Amino acid sequence: KIGIIGGTGLDDPDILEGRTEKYVDTPYGKPSDALILGKIKNVDCVLLARHGRHHTVMPSNVNYRANIWALKEENCSHVLVTTACGSLQEKIQPGDLVIIDQFIDR
């Protein structure tokens, strides 16, 4: 099962077939929004809108621990996460896809 934490553009539940909503609570509190369960091309997926479906959760208020816990409890073996941000490197242009190899946890 694939967990998808969607940011801008990838939090649209219409990408899932046969979707259902599930509200959960975790030891860390509530995740950003309901889990949306469904399938993409016959693969079980769980979609979670990082900032809530109505973009009500500010970036500094995202409950990351609750989000990951909720996906783990749904038996997601993999988690795909997208983000949109700028770069300080001129060679990276708007629209480029970058896969990180370093991560800074504040």
Beta carbons of 2 and 78 less than 8 angstroms apart:
yes
pLDDT of residue 11: 63
CA 67 → CA 3, 35, 88, 95, distances in Å? 10, 9, 29, 27
pLDDT at 23: 96
Cβ atoms of 76 and 3 closer than 8 Å: yes
Q: Report residues of the chain scoring pLDDT below 70.
A: 8-11, 103-106
Q: How far is Cα 104 from Cα 28, in angstroms, rounded to an integer?
A: 21
pLDDT of residue 101: 77
Both structure tokens of 39: 């399938």
Tracing tokens 């996460």 back to the chain, one arrives at 81
Look at residues 63, 52, 73 and name the one whose alpha carbon lies nearest to residue 7.
52
Of the candidates 49, 73, 45, the residue with the CA atom closest to the CA atom of residue 63: 49
Give dist(CA 5, CA 81) in Å, integer. Answer: 5
